[in-house]
């Protein structure tokens, strides 16, 4: 796939969209948070990630019953939704190549490596005290 299909991600500053491995989203207050995880390249200890905070849209919606005729709500911005749609497209391609078992084994292996490196780092810091 060409980079042109991922205009929103490119506009967000992501240089190589094909390095994206996975992403997560969450809502904190009236902000959508999008965290994108990239593949770990040879020689890197940890995988890289980028976090984006995108303001949610505020709307007043008419309520049929009750004392208040309108209620304030928030919803995700179109920019955020376009980015997530592009990420879904990228991640779906990747997941179709690996079966679920292989993916879980890779995640488990990665977790073991991260935990062991963190333990080593903490031991080193303790020794330095």
Enumerate the β-bridge partners of residue 25: 34
Average of pLDDT values for 16-22? 85
Lowest mean pLDDT segment, chosen from 34-38, 68-72, 98-102: 98-102
Q: How confident is the model at residue 94 (pLDDT cuts 50, 70, 90)?
A: low
Q: How far apart are the C-alpha atoms of 22 and 67, rounded to whole Å?
A: 45
Average of pLDDT values for 56-79? 83
Q: How far apart are the C-alpha atoms of 43 and 56, rounded to whole Å?
A: 38
This prediction's pTM: 0.62
């Amino acid at each position: 796939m060409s980079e042109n299909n991922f205009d929103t991600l490119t506009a967000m500053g992501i240089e190589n969209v094909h390095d994206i491995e996975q992403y997560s989203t969450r809502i904190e207050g009236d902000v959508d948070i999008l965290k994108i995880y990239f593949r770990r390249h040879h020689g890197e200890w940890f995988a890289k990630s980028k976090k984006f905070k995108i303001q949610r849209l505020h709307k007043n919606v008419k309520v049929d019953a009750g004392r208040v005729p309108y209620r304030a709500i928030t919803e995700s911005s179109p920019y955020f939704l376009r980015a997530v749609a592009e990420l879904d497209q990228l991640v779906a391609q990747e997941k179709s190549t690996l079966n679920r078992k292989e993916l879980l084994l890779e995640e488990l292996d990665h977790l073991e490596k991260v935990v062991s490196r963190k333990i080593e780092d903490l031991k080193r810091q303790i020794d330095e005290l």
